Structure 1
Amino acid sequence: MAPAALPFASSLADARPVPFWLDDPGRPGARPALTGTERCDLLVVGGGYSGLWTALLAKERDPGRDVVLIEGREVGWAASGRNGGFCAASLTHGLGNGLARWPQELGRLEELGARNLDAIEDTVARYGIDCDFERTGEIDVATEPHQLAELNELHQEATRLGFGGLQMLDRDAVRAEVDSPTFLGGLWDRDGVAMLHPAKLAWGLKQTCLGLGVRIYENTRGLELAPSGPGMAVRTPYGRVLARHVALGTNVFPSLVKRVRPYTVPVYDYALTTEPLSVEQLASVGWKRRQGLGDSANQFHYFRITADHRILWGGYDAVYPFGGRLDAELDHRPETYLRLAGHFFHCFPQLEGIRFSHAWGGAIDTCSRFAAFFGTAHGGKVAYAAGYTGLGVGATRFGADVMLDLLAGARTERTELKMVRSKPLPFPPEPVAWAGIGLTKWSLARADANGGRRNAWLRTLDRLGLGFDS
C-alpha cells in the first residue's frame, strides 16, 4: 500500500531549490578574479552589503581614495542576496533589544538609525538603483494573548520615551491591513522599515561602486591577512593585495582576524515564496499597503509580498550546525520547508491550493547580543563589523560608516557609542556551545507554548545578556 501523502507536500512539488531573488535572468555576470599583485589605499574583503557599502562610502568621503573589493564568490550570492528584504532603521535588532542593552543611548541610536535608513533611500534614488524600494513599514503581529500584552507594553514604553511612529492595532485593525484568522493585534512601525529586492540592491551597489572607480574582483577569496611594511597584505588564490587599510565585511564566514571568530556562530534560516497571487487571492488577503510582517513568537516567522505579488514566508527554524561548520548541504532542508508550508496555510487558510515556486536557505551570522559589533586589529590598520543577526540589510550601511571612522582614527558620534565600543560575550567552545544553544532553543519553544513564561535557563541568560536568535 502506498504511504499517505504528507500534508502540504504537494504545494512544494514545483519549488525550485534556489533563492527567489537570485533566480533572475538579469543577474549580472561576475567580474574577473584577481591575479598577481594589486596595491590600493583601502582593501574591502567581502562583496555583501557590508563590503559594498564600505567601498561606496569610502569613495564618497574621498573620491581620490584607491579602493579594491574582493569577493570569494559573486557579489550578493550569500545572505545579502537571499534574505527577506526587510530594510530596518533599527540598529539594535528592535526597540526591545535596544532598551535592554543600551537604554542610556537608545535615543541617539534610534536617531542614527533613522538617518541611516533615510540615507539608504537617498542613495537608491540618487544612483538610480532599481531594487523595488518601498517605505511601507512593518507590523509585528500577535498570534497569542501574551504576545499582544507584550506588544502593548512595548508600545507604552516607546510612547513614554518619546519614540513616535508606532501604532497599536487591535484585531480588526490588523486584519483590515492583512487578513489572517490567527492575528490578534499588531504594532505597526509606519516609517522605520522599507521593503526591497535584496539581490537587486547588492547588484545596484556593485554597479555604483564600479562607476565610482572601485576595482572589484569576484571569485577571489581572502585567504590570509598579515602586516606588510607600513600596511597590510591579503593573500588570495592567484595573487595578493597590498593595502594601507583593510575593512573586513565577511560576517558569517571565518574572520581573517582569528580572535573575532568566537563572537559569532552561523545559523541556518529558510524561506519559501509562493507563485504569484491572482487578483482574487490578493483580495482575500488584503495587504494593499504591502507592509512587512513578523509574528512575535520566539520561534518567529517573517513574511512580505513581492513586487510581482508573491508571498515570501520564512523563519521559525534556526539551525545551528555542530562546530559552527558552513556546509552547502545545509542550504536546503526539506523538513523545514514542509513545516513552513504547514505554518503558511495555518496563517492563510484562504490560500489553500496555492503552490510554492522557490524554497531555499542559508547561513547568517548570529552574536549573543543580536546586534552588530565592531573593532580594529593590527594597530588600527584593519577594521571589522559582524554579528548583524538577520537585521543587516539596513544596519550594514551604519557598520560601514563605523569601520571607516575607526580606520581614520576619528572620534565621531558613532565611535563614541557604548554599542560601538563594547563587544558581546563570545560563544563557548564545543561541545558547550552545541549543548547551550540546543537547551536555549528548547527553552524558547517551551516559552512559546507556555504563555511566554521563561524558564530558569532563559532567565539566567537574560541576566548575563546572552541569547540565541536568527
Structure 2
Amino acid sequence: MPVDLGAVRAAAAASLAGARPVPYWLDSPDRPAARPALTGDERCDLLVVGGGYSGLWTALLAKERAPERDVVLIEGQEVGWAASGRNGGFCAASLTHGFGNGLTRWPDELRTLEELGERNLDAIEAAVARYGIDCAFERTGELDVATEPYQLDGLRDLYEERIRRGGEGGGEGLELLDRDAVRAEVDSPTFLGGLWDRRGVAMLDPARLAWGLKRACTELGVRIYENTRGLALARYGAGMAVRTPYGRIFARRVALGTNVFPSLVRRARPYTVPVYDYALMTEPLTTRQRGAIGWRNRQGLGDSANQFHYFRITADHRVLWGGYDAIYPYGGRLSAEMEQRPQTYLRLAAHFFRCFPQLEGVRFSHAWGGAIDTCSRFAAFFGTAYGGRVAYAAGYTGLGVGATRFGGDVMLDLLAGERTERTELAMVRDKPLPFPPEPVAWAGIGLTRWSLARADAHDGRRNVWLRTMDRLGLGFDS
C-alpha cells in the first residue's frame, strides 16, 4: 500500500503543536541566576573568554593545576546558553570526531589519540563525582545502527579495524549486533544491525554539566562575569588587554573558548563556519510506550547515513531526536532567526515516527536549533597568537561535550610553553584547511550537502565531488 504523504505530514505537524521553541535542557526552574557583568577594570593571571564547556574546563583545569593562579572567566551572555546547553548530551571519548575520521587523518598517532580520549572521558567522570555535579551522567555507551543493507558492511569494517588497531583495549567494550540483537536493545523496524561501543560514550544532561562546572569554578576561586562580551584583544606590556562593554581586563595570558563565535584572533576565523543543527524532545513516555521500544540499557544512538540522526532517552523517559539537516547560512552569519526552522522540525518528526511507528500519537514538548562550529577536518584545532600569550581551541563540529576538556588542557600547555604528549601531536600542531571566501564557500557546502544526500540514496556511493573533497582533506559533516 503506498504511503499517504499528506497524512504523514499532517501527523508530524500535529505532534509539534505544543512544542516550546526553546532547548529542553535550558528550560528548567533550576537554571542558576547569571552572575553580574564586569564594570570597570580587572586584572588576573589568566583570562578565559567564553562560558561554554571549552572555557569552563580551561578555567577549572587552570585552578586544579595551580590553585594560586588568579583566573577570570567572561561570558557574553550566560554560562552554557549556546551549544554547551542545547546539545544532545553525548559525551564521547573520541577526540577525532569518531574512529573513522581519526584513522583517515592521523593514522600514525591514532592509538595515542584513542588512549588520550579514553583517559579524558575517565577524567570527566571523576570530575563529575568529585565536584558533585548532578548532570545525570550515565556511561551507557553508544549504538551505531544500520538502516540500509550497505551500511552493515561499513559497521563490520569499522569493528574489525578497531580491533586490529587495539582501540578500546583491543576491542573490549565493542559488540557487533545483528538485526535481532540490535532490536532486542532498541526496537525499530528500520534497524538492520548495529555496533555498540559500551564504554566510549556517556549520556548526560548538558546544561546541568555546564552549570555544575560553573559552580565548581567559583568554589575554586575563579571570578566569573556573565553578560560580558570580549570585544577586542591587544598587547599590554608583558601581557594582554581585552576590552569589554564596561571595562577592560589586563591578563598575563588569555585562553579563547569562543568556538562558533568570531575569534578575537582574526587569522583563526577562516578555519570555522557555523552550521545550524536542530532537535526535538518528546513528552515523557508512558510505561507502555517504553515497553514498546525497549531501550532498557539507555544507550545513545546514531544511524549510519551521511545525513544522520542522533537520539537518546533521558532520565525522565523522554526521547531526544536530532540531526539530519545541517544548515549553513550564507556568509556564515549568526542569527537568532535561524534557531527556529519549522520545515526541519516537520522533517525530523516524520523521520521519528518512521523509526518508531509504535510511538504514534506521542507529542513533542520542545523544538530548538542552534549553531555549532564546523571545521574542514571535523575535529578541534589549536593555536597561539601574540607570541604565545594567547591560545585558542575551536572546530569541535558537534562533538565537543567531551573533547573540550582535552582542548582546555592543550590550551594551558600551549600558554605554559610546555612540550607535552598533547602538544607533540600532529593533531595539535597542524591546522585544518581554511574555508574559501563567499560565494565559493556557499556553493561548495551546498554541493557537498547535495552529494551526501545523493550518496545516501545510492547505497553510499560517493560521487566525483565527494571523492575530490576527501583527497583534499575538506568535507562537510551533517
Q: Does 1:184 align with 2:189?
A: no
Alignment partner of 1:237 is 2:237: no
Counterpart position of 1:101? 105
2:474 and 2:196 mapped to 1: Cα distance? 27
**2:51 is equivalent to residue 47 of structure 1:** yes
Distance 1:219 1:363 in 2: 19
Residue identity opposite 1:183 in structure 2: F
Deviation at 1:162, TM superposition (A): 1.8
Report matched runs for 1:10-409 at 5 Å.
Answer: 10-163=14-167, 164=171, 165-409=173-417
Letter aligned with residue 48 of structure 1: G
What is the distance in 1 between the residues matched to 2:164 and 2:48? 42
| Cα displacement (A) at 1:361 | 0.2
Q: Distance in 1 between matches of 2:381 and 2:362?
A: 41
Residue 3 of structure 2 corresponds to: none
Output the CA distance in 1 between the equivalents of 2:301 and 2:146. 11
Secondary structure in structure 2 of the residue aligned to 1:47: coil
Instruction: Name the counterpart of 1:431.
Output: 439
Residue 469 (structure 1) shift: 1.1
Q: Work out the CA distance in 2 between the residues paired with 1:159 and 1:407.
A: 36
Counterpart of 1:358, as a letter, is: H
Taking only the aligned residue pairs, the percentage that are identical comes to 82
Query: Secondary structure, in 3 states, of the residue corresponding to 2:41?
Result: strand
SS at match of 1:75: coil
Quote how far apart the aligned CAs of 1:363 are: 0.1
Q: Secondary structure at the match of 1:433?
A: helix
Secondary structure at the counterpart of residue 113 of structure 1 = helix
TM-score, normalised relative to structure 1: 0.99
C-alpha distance in structure 2 between counterparts of 1:14 and 1:41, whole Å: 48
CA distance in 2, matches of 1:457, 1:7: 37
**3-state SS of the aligned residue for 2:47?**
strand
Shift of 1:166: 1.5
Deviations 1:289-337, CA, capped at 9 Å, x for gaps: 0000000000000000000000000000000000000000000000000
Superposed CA offset, 1:127-160 (max 9, x none): 1000000000000000001111101111111111
Give the partner amino acid of 2:70: D
Instruction: Find the aligned partners of 2:10 and 2:188 in 1 and give their Cα distance.
Output: 24
Question: What amino acid sits opposite 1:194 in the alignment?
Answer: A
Distance 1:8 1:162 in 2: 44
Larger deviation, residues 159-168 vs 390-399 = 159-168
CA–CA separation in structure 2 for the residues paired with 1:158 and 1:306: 29
CA RMSD in angstroms comes to 0.8
Give SS of 1:457's match.
Answer: helix
Describe the superposition over 1:266-286 as per-residue Cα deviations: whole angstroms up to 9, x where unpaired: 000000000000000000000
How many residues were matched structurally? 468
How far apart in 1 are the matches of 2:156 and 2:191? 14
Amino acid corresponding to residue 59 of structure 2 in structure 1: A
Does 1:451 pair with 2:464?
no
